[in-house]
Amino acid sequence: MRLILLGPPGSGKGTQAQRLVHKHGIVQLSTGEMLRAAVAAGTPIGLQAKEIMANGGLVPDEVVVGIIADRIDESDAKKGFILDGFPRTVPQAAALDELLKKKHLKLDAVVELRVNESALLARVEKRAEETRARGEEVRLDDTPEVLTKRLAQYRSLTEPLIHYYSERRKLLTVDGMMAIEHVTREINRILGAIGALEPKDEEPAKAAKKPARKVSKKPAKAVEKAPKAAKKAAKPARKATKGASKAKVAKKSVKKAAKAAKPASARKGAKAAKKPAKKLTKKRAKR
Ligand code: AMP
């Protein structure tokens, strides 16, 4: 599974990434962490980034893209990864697309943690307090002044990624104001709904059926983010299947993703779940 966690500073990306790492056994790739390590080690990249980071600026795109390009080639990232803090600009996102394409890797989803800006300062202050209490050094950029700058950067340079990934049908939005456990549960629920989760410990056939069932019960948030045209396209499907959920768009991508993600033995189950969609396609074709 390859994911991006998107959200402003203090939205909980790091916390949620760690929880996903724990649950799914994939690695967290945080450019912020890697840059802080480079600063601490005094490497050339660290020397270049130190001042920029302390002032709440963004390290040049080519630097972070280079770091990520090298990192995803490492063996522990083969099984999957969660990008935390990258991409942060549209050029970084475009570079990532290129990178993944070259390596024949697919991005499963971009999870946006949506939070009220007014809560962020309190969260970052709390983070600084907890760090201090552990006897660790507080981040130089976790101050109200620098946070204000980082938020402004987020709005102008990173927020356009919401549109970027929404257009590419990758965006899933989660309410990041909920309690940590609820946010985690919701992320796992929607990842299950789009078929991004590996059927790790489950019996393959059972696992293959799961996403479809889940989606028909409760629409995945992805639908809210789907472009208008896609929602329109989903309408006849909704009419044709009695009691079906709004999540037809997501369901389609679920089936696609499920097919790609599941082993051959699991595809039988997924095929069965596909039948209604086939009928719908026929109906649509008649029209
Ligand atoms: P973070 O730990 O993600 O909040 O990142 C801390 C700081 O590292 C940011 O304020 C930036 O200065 C720098 N940084 C981290 N990731 C990136 C990135 N993808 N692009 C540019 N600068 C970054």
- pLDDT digits over 91-115, tens only? 999 999 999 999 999 999 999 999 9
Nearest atom of ligand 1 to the alpha carbon of 56: 10
Nearest atom of ligand 1 to the alpha carbon of 33: 2
Give yes or no for residue 54 CB within 6 A of ligand 1.
no
Among 139, 231, 238, 274, which one carries the catalytic annotation? 139
- Which of the four pLDDT bands, split at 50, 70 and 90, describes residue 272? very low
pLDDT 10s digits, 233-268: 333 333 333 333 333 434 444 344 444 433 333 333
Among 36, 150, 246, 252, which one carries the catalytic annotation? 150
Rounded Cα distance, 202 and 93, in Å: 33
Query: Which pLDDT value is given to residue 122?
Result: 86
pLDDT, mean of residues 141-160:
92
| Token couple for 69 | 């390009």
Mean pLDDT lowest among 85-94, 129-138, 198-207: 198-207
Decide: residue 267, CB within 10 A, 0-12 exposed, 13-18 middle, 19+ buried.
middle
The question of whether 267 is a catalytic residue gets the answer: no
> What is the percentage of the chain residues whose pLDDT exceeds 70?
69
CA atoms within 13 A on the CB side of 116: 5
Residues 197/199/201/207 CA torsion (nearest 10 deg):
120
Mean pLDDT (the chain) is 77
The question of whether 13 is a catalytic residue gets the answer: yes
SS3 175: strand
Give yes or no for residue 269 CB within 6 A of ligand 1.
no
Query: Which pLDDT value is given to residue 44?
Result: 95
Q: 221 vs 142, which has greater pLDDT?
A: 142
Among 2, 19, 50, 88, which one carries the catalytic annotation? 88
Query: Which pLDDT value is given to residue 199?
Result: 60
- Closest residue (by CA) to atom 19 of ligand 1? 86
pLDDT 10s digits, 12-37: 999 999 999 988 889 999 999 999 99
- Closest residue (by CA) to atom 2 of ligand 1? 32
The question of whether 127 is a catalytic residue gets the answer: yes
The domain covering 2-26+79-197 belongs, at the CATH homologous superfamily level, to: P-loop containing nucleotide triphosphate hydrolases (3.40.50.300)
- Which of the four pLDDT bands, split at 50, 70 and 90, describes residue 230? very low
- Please give the backbone phi and psi of residue 175, each rounded to the nearest 5 degrees, phi first: -75, 105
Q: What's the predicted TM-score (pTM) here?
A: 0.71
The question of whether 287 is a catalytic residue gets the answer: no
pLDDT, mean of residues 159-174:
97
Q: 44 vs 121, which has greater pLDDT?
A: 44
Rounded Cα distance, 86 and 60, in Å: 12
The residue whose CB lies within 8 Å of the most ligand 1 atoms, and thus the one to mutate among 13, 58, 120, is: 58
Give yes or no for residue 86 CB within 6 A of ligand 1.
yes
Give yes or no for residue 52 CB within 6 A of ligand 1.
yes
The residue whose CB lies within 8 Å of the most ligand 1 atoms, and thus the one to mutate among 4, 48, 53, is: 53
pLDDT 10s digits, 176-220: 999 999 999 999 999 999 887 766 533 344 444 444 443 333 333
Point out which residues pair with 193 in neighbouring strands.
Answer: none
What is the domain partition of the chain in residue ranges? Answer: 2-26+79-197, 204-234
For residue 150, report the distance from its CA to the centre of ligand 1, in Å. 9
Query: Which pLDDT value is given to residue 121?
Result: 86
CA atoms within 13 A on the CB side of 178: 12
The question of whether 139 is a catalytic residue gets the answer: yes
Give yes or no for residue 120 CB within 6 A of ligand 1.
no
Rounded Cα distance, 98 and 175, in Å: 30
Query: Which pLDDT value is given to residue 63?
Result: 96
SS3 78: coil
The residue whose CB lies within 8 Å of the most ligand 1 atoms, and thus the one to mutate among 31, 67, 86, 143, is: 31
